[in-house]
Amino acid sequence: MSEIAVVGSDRFTLGFRLAGIRKVWTVAGAEELERGARLAMADGDVSILVMETSDVSGLEPRLRDELVGSVKPTLVAVGTDEDNTLREKIKQAVGVDLW
């Protein structure tokens, strides 16, 4: 079964929990963030992984590239910072920049 997962701080994940997302990894600190991201990627049921944009930027480059390039789970970065990862994935899949 495909599920949405969220990795981030308690403050970031709270709204997703209230919305009914069951796969939530609440983390504090860079080491826990990387561990949570790796656990979410290893979970075969996770199809969409939601993380805060600033958290994605703070990941080690190798893990960040792995997440951004991943098809399953697909990374959706949300937050106040601009993020082009979803845009780039759409452009790669469709072959046209839709923006």
In a domain, 58, yes or no: yes
In a domain, 39, yes or no: yes
Report pLDDT digits (tens) over 68-81: 888 899 888 887 76
SS3 87: helix
In a domain, 99, yes or no: no
In a domain, 59, yes or no: yes
Residue 81 is predicted with a pLDDT of 64
- Tokens at 93, concatenated: 């899949």
Q: How many domains does the chain have?
A: 1
In a domain, 64, yes or no: yes
Domain that holds residue 60: 3-94
In a domain, 65, yes or no: yes
In a domain, 48, yes or no: yes
CATH code for position 71: 3.40.50.10580
Q: Contact at 8 Å (CB) between 59 and 84?
A: no
CA angle (3 as vertex; 29, 33 as ends), nearest 5: 10
User: pTM for the whole thing?
Assistant: 0.80
Choice between 82 and 62, residue whose per-residue pLDDT is larger: 62
